[in-house]
Amino acid sequence: MRQPAIAAAAGVIAGCAVARPHDDDWPAGQPPKHHFTRSWESDAENAKLQTLEQYLHWVRKFYEGTPIAPGWTAASRRLLENRPEEARSRIKPRLAELGALICADWAKDNRRRRIDNRMLAVWGAAMRNAGPTGRVEAALDLIAADARAVREGTLPPEQVTSERYTGVALARQSSVP
């Protein structure tokens, strides 16, 4: 009789130790929780290393940021500031799509993810630097293509460097019809 009671108590205690995001407390402005739940479910190897709750914790950190790094939401807001409404209406959905693409991989356990903090820093700088040049959309196109390629394993992570996203790369990308 004691064993089932102990097991039940252990389950309750373990459940209290992990903050579980619920749909009703999922932050507004982030892609739907089910997008990331499906992403986590599609990677059985990652699921062996990281619970869904842990994965969703990192999804939230990606968007909300930390005391030392701004999140995707704040970075996107800054990128859209002082742009004409027409440009904002084109760029905003692209930023949302790119954020979901990057985050779905970045939030995985460090042993499984392909997109890491260094790449986030490179891509963040590329977007900020493209703003004054008027090449934000070209930068987003190139970053999205590279994020997909890194996730698929066709672009080695060490090729994601700041040089890849400066001048010639952005000019070449922006001239593609």
| pLDDT (mean) for 92-101 | 96
Per-residue confidence band for 17, with pLDDT thresholds at 50, 70 and 90: very low
The region of weakest confidence among 3-7, 64-68, 92-96, 104-108 is 3-7
Which of helix, strand or coil describes residue 65? Answer: strand
Where are the domains positioned within the chain?
Answer: 21-174
Q: Quick check: 172 and 145 in contact, CB under 8 A?
A: no
CB atoms within 10 A of CB 1: 5
Q: What is the pLDDT of residue 19?
A: 43
Contacts of 130 (CB under 8 A, 6+ apart): 136, 138, 139, 165, 170
Residue found under tokens 């062996």: 48
Average pLDDT, the chain: 84
Predicted local confidence at residue 133, as pLDDT: 75
| Average of per-residue pLDDT across 85-100 | 95
For residue 82, the 8-state DSSP code is: T
Q: What is the pLDDT of residues 55-85, one digit of tens each?
A: 999 999 999 999 988 899 999 999 999 899 9
Q: Rounded to an integer, what distance in angstroms lies between the CA atom of residue 122 and that of residue 143?
A: 10
pTM here? 0.81
Q: What percent of the chain has pLDDT over 70?
A: 80
Q: Is 77 helix (H, G, I), strand (E, B) or coil?
A: helix
Classified as helix, coil or strand, 68 is coil
Residue 110 clears pLDDT 60, i.e. is over it: yes
Where residue 135 falls among pLDDT bands split at 50, 70, 90?
confident
Residues 6+ apart with CB under 8 A from 148: 101
User: 160, 108 in Cβ contact below 8 A?
Assistant: no
